[in-house]
Structure 1
Amino acid sequence: MNSKKGAAIAVTLGTIAATLYPVTPANADPARDAQWQVSFLKLTQAHQITKGGGVTIAVVDTGVSPHRDLTKNLKEGADTIRGGDGIGQKDENGHGTQMAGLIAGHGHNSDDGILGIAPNASLFPIKAANAEGGGSGLEPGIKRAAEVGADVINVSAGRANSRAMNDAIAATVLADSVVVAAAGNKSDTLRLGYPAAMPEVLAVGAIDEKGNLADFSVTDPKVGICAPGVNVATTTLNNGYGKGSGTSEATAIVSGAAALVRAKFPDLSAAEVIHRLTATADDNGPPGRDDQCGFGVLNVVKALTAEVPPLEGGTAATASAQPSVAAPSVGGSAVPADPENKADPENKAEESNLPVIAGVAGGIAVLGVLLAFLVRRRRKPTA
């Protein structure tokens, strides 16, 4: 690739083969039953406190398809791809639709379909990339989310830093938007990407159903919190359902939790919302704050009910020292937010009749799509 013309910062996004493990009729709803995160996070208890009404969450991704479990709270949105039609309710890839279900799915027929973390919150879809990976809409998408006044901005993607990224995050600070971003998944050359590495952003890692750090989740001093991100059921294209694994999924869940906190405590600043989420997290891994899950694993109920001392200084998203948004650092490594990975063989898709969205499960290879956010480099990449 010619670095003078730009480099493709690849974000691996999960998709499904429609013929794999289709949902079949059953007495119980297979999609809702497959959502282990619902019981793990005690959502029934949390939803007795708030369901996120009055809060708007921007999903900066591949667009969001009007799935039947999303239509009640899905806004028209926006399109920040050059040459796009300006509408966010179009998703040829599927990744954005998957994230939206985890964030704010409201299900259907009372107890069927996907139940998101904040089912009464509004979704503002921002189409920042197309199915082929073309376009350079990530930073404009984040900035657009700030301009429309999104209370929470979900960025289940990452890339190298740039002046445009710094400008976009600066806009979210002025708008007092909570930005939640994927820490990324491990590869041979991976390090934490942007915007997750920025001090104003909450970087999210992933855990499995047993509460263990997912083997693909990036470890870094800037990771702030972990959430379920292995074999989590969600919405897919064509009113379908599937399971996904990645820090993208975990990020969407934390974004939903941030929306609940904003609904319950509307006077809190964005930094205080992040502080409440991290201060009430359950310690996980090495005692105290660590590079695996930061302050711990998301505890939604505690985030809505605990007495939390005010944030000292009122501005830090994490406790580690990080570069300022005013000092951009262009360059860095590619950041796959959802690379191909092997799901836990004990969590096979056949058990819930749901397709696996990303990775390899039960020996069945499932399709993956690379979403490339094209980034103009100001210097050649380092070796």
Structure 2
Amino acid sequence: MTFTGTLRAAGGAALAGALLFGTAPVASADSIRDSQWPLAVTAFDAEKVWGVSTGKGVTVAVLDSGVDGTHPDLTGSVLPGKDFTGGGTADRETVNVHGTAMASLIAGHGHGSGGADGVMGLAPDAKILPVKVLAQDSGITSADSLDYAAGLRYAVDHGASVVNMSIDAGFDPSVEEEQAIAYAAEKDVLVVTAAGNDGAGNLTDPASAPGVLAVGAVGKDGVVWEKSNYGPQLMLAAPGEYIRSAKTGGGYRLANGTSDATAYVSAAAALLRAKFPDLTAGQIANRLVKTASLPSSAKGLSLPDKHYGYGFIRPYSALTKGISAGSKQGPLKTPTAAASSSNSPSTSAAAGGSVANNSSSSSDSSGMGTGVIVAIVIGVLVLALVIMLIIVLSKRGGRRNGPGGGFPLPPQGDWQQQPPNGWQQPPAGGYQQQPQHNPYASQQPPPGQWPNQ
């Protein structure tokens, strides 16, 4: 099933990334790296992070508008993938920009001597699996009639352990999309989604769907970006203002948007999946949540907060802090489709048979099955016929001293009702809400500076 509304890259207006300086001249290669403030010591301190993990061995699927795998900052890091909008692979995008930008923030490796020029992603050794579900950056129309359900299932089935979905449909997820998210959860794949860029107080598809990790955007000071959508489903935040990334054709862009923030969270998840391969998707999310922080202006908020979730990510802390694994599900909600399917009774039956269920229509008031009642009635009738035959034969043969009344009926004991079939659903143990302040968020940043790791 497909939807007929508009599916947008969550970056926002102009090129689905809320391009801030879309008409500005392309900066020189040296200044590109310098403008990547999230990688600086005062923010992620990427060099320190890469001393622990670079995301090697992890595949991140980018469900977006296709990726330019020939970009010098992405060569060798992009798998062929699949184009669900027109067929073929998704690694040779020549028109749309958004998917390439997201891929570069996740797994860009720069270029030039020692990779010192161009865009570097937070997980530079991860692989990108491009899955094109957007016909164009600005969204798809009803004529395209596409959704991301098939693309998400493809990503799960082709080795992705993290899926980046920097898209915003603007309405509620379809049943097929919820089932695809449930499929990803069953296969232990972490789905990271963008909150959207309307400054609205409600999240929509896919960020509103249970089972995903919804991300908002913050600036250099850690304060939430004014256009970042918010709501109770929001879980984390990441840099989303003045973000430098690659674009189709070998160039670069500067943008604002929850799309970029989502890519950084996906990259952080890739770092963790490489470092902790035995942790589940929910436990990866747990490490990100337990090490998240808040700006000093947000001191005293009850977490999760509708604007910040549990706070903005701190990758180095997530990689190095001593945190218990926690439950398999972690802070992620159980997908609705998975929960409903696991509790629904079977309604299939063989041809000519009856439907098996637990309703009173299949048994009488004492709990005796219809088949048992029929068998007893037939048995009584047969026994009565035998007794009558014996009596007739006795009278004809003159054997009046034969057994009087025939064979006695067995005692009629009460039918013991069996306990209902099937396993009982265990009590749902909800995710324990964190205290008002994260245990690792004691150091608050001075104005205009990203908190230390």
Using the size of structure 2 for normalisation, the TM-score is 0.66
Per-residue deviation, 1:194: 2.2
> Is it true that 1:99 corresponds to 2:99 in the alignment?
no
Per-residue deviation, 1:139: 1.8
1:166–1:326 Cα change, 3 Å:
farther
1:136–1:321 Cα change, 3 Å:
closer
Per-residue deviation, 1:33: 0.6
> Is it true that 1:119 corresponds to 2:124 in the alignment?
yes
SS for the counterpart of 2:288 is helix
Task: Tell me which residue corresponds to 2:33.
Answer: 32
**C-alpha distance in 2, partners of 1:203/1:19?**
27
> Is it true that 1:7 corresponds to 2:9 in the alignment?
no
SS for the counterpart of 2:331 is coil
SS for the counterpart of 1:71 is coil
**C-alpha distance in 2, partners of 1:68/1:174?**
36
1:271–1:16 Cα change, 3 Å:
closer
2:153 counterpart (143, 161, 169): 143
Task: Tell me which residue corresponds to 2:448.
Answer: none
CA RMSD of aligned residues (A): 2.6
> Is it true that 1:23 corresponds to 2:26 in the alignment?
yes
Task: Tell me which residue corresponds to 1:287.
Answer: 301
Larger mean Cα displacement after TM superposition, 249-258 or 36-45: 36-45
Task: Tell me which residue corresponds to 2:52.
Answer: 49
Asked if structure 1 preserves the Cα contact closer than 8 Å seen for 2:214 and 2:236, the reply is: yes
**C-alpha distance in 2, partners of 1:194/1:137?**
11
Asked if structure 2 preserves the Cα contact closer than 8 Å seen for 1:91 and 1:130, the reply is: no
1:91–1:256 Cα change, 3 Å:
farther
Task: Tell me which residue corresponds to 1:370.
Answer: none
Task: Tell me which residue corresponds to 2:93.
Answer: 90
**C-alpha distance in 2, partners of 1:91/1:238?**
7
Per-residue deviation, 1:135: 4.9
For 1:234-290, what per-residue CA distance to the aligned partner results, in whole angstroms no more than 9, with x for missing partners?
001110011111111000000000000000101111111111111111134243411
> Is it true that 1:249 corresponds to 2:260 in the alignment?
yes
Q: How does 1:243-282 map to 2 (within 5 A)?
A: 243-282=254-293
1:263–1:96 Cα change, 3 Å:
same
Higher relative contact order (CA 8 A, sep 6+): 1
**C-alpha distance in 2, partners of 1:148/1:173?**
15
**C-alpha distance in 1, partners of 2:181/2:107?**
23
Task: Tell me which residue corresponds to 1:79.
Answer: 83
Task: Tell me which residue corresponds to 1:297.
Answer: 312
Per-residue deviation, 1:175: 1.8
Larger mean Cα displacement after TM superposition, 297-306 or 28-37: 28-37
**C-alpha distance in 2, partners of 1:255/1:17?**
23
1:308 counterpart (294, 305, 323): 323
**C-alpha distance in 2, partners of 1:164/1:223?**
22
Task: Tell me which residue corresponds to 2:407.
Answer: none
**C-alpha distance in 1, partners of 2:126/2:22?**
32
1:221–1:90 Cα change, 3 Å:
same
2:167 counterpart (157, 163, 168): 157
1:220 counterpart (200, 213, 231): 231
Task: Tell me which residue corresponds to 1:380.
Answer: none
Q: Counterpart of 1:169 in structure 2: which amino acid?
A: I
SS for the counterpart of 2:105 is helix
Q: Counterpart of 2:65 in structure 1: which amino acid?
A: T
1:77–1:244 Cα change, 3 Å:
same
Task: Tell me which residue corresponds to 2:373.
Answer: none
More helix by share: 2
Q: How does 1:341-360 map to 2 (within 5 A)?
A: none
SS for the counterpart of 2:167 is coil
**C-alpha distance in 2, partners of 1:151/1:244?**
27
Task: Tell me which residue corresponds to 1:197.
Answer: 208
**C-alpha distance in 1, partners of 2:253/2:221?**
20
Task: Tell me which residue corresponds to 1:177.
Answer: 189
**C-alpha distance in 2, partners of 1:208/1:240?**
24
Asked if structure 2 preserves the Cα contact closer than 8 Å seen for 1:57 and 1:122, the reply is: yes
Per-residue deviation, 1:37: 0.6
Asked if structure 1 preserves the Cα contact closer than 8 Å seen for 2:38 and 2:44, the reply is: yes
For 1:127-173, what per-residue CA distance to the aligned partner results, in whole angstroms no more than 9, with x for missing partners?
11112733514221111111112011000012221111112112211
More strand by share: 1
Equivalent residues, number:
320
SS for the counterpart of 1:272 is helix
1:79–1:9 Cα change, 3 Å:
closer
Q: Counterpart of 1:124 in structure 2: which amino acid?
A: L
Using the size of structure 1 for normalisation, the TM-score is 0.77
Asked if structure 1 preserves the Cα contact closer than 8 Å seen for 2:107 and 2:128, the reply is: yes
Q: Counterpart of 1:55 in structure 2: which amino acid?
A: V
Task: Tell me which residue corresponds to 1:130.
Answer: 135
SS for the counterpart of 1:206 is strand
Asked if structure 2 preserves the Cα contact closer than 8 Å seen for 1:199 and 1:316, the reply is: no
For 1:152-210, what per-residue CA distance to the aligned partner results, in whole angstroms no more than 9, with x for missing partners?
1000012221111112112211221111000112256x620122223321110000011
1:7–1:20 Cα change, 3 Å:
closer
**C-alpha distance in 1, partners of 2:120/2:73?**
8
SS for the counterpart of 1:260 is helix
**C-alpha distance in 1, partners of 2:212/2:44?**
22
Q: Counterpart of 1:278 in structure 2: which amino acid?
A: V
State the identity as a percent.
Answer: 36
Task: Tell me which residue corresponds to 1:236.
Answer: 247
Q: What residue ranges of structure 2 are gaps of 5+ in the alignment?
A: 342-453
Per-residue deviation, 1:322: 8.1
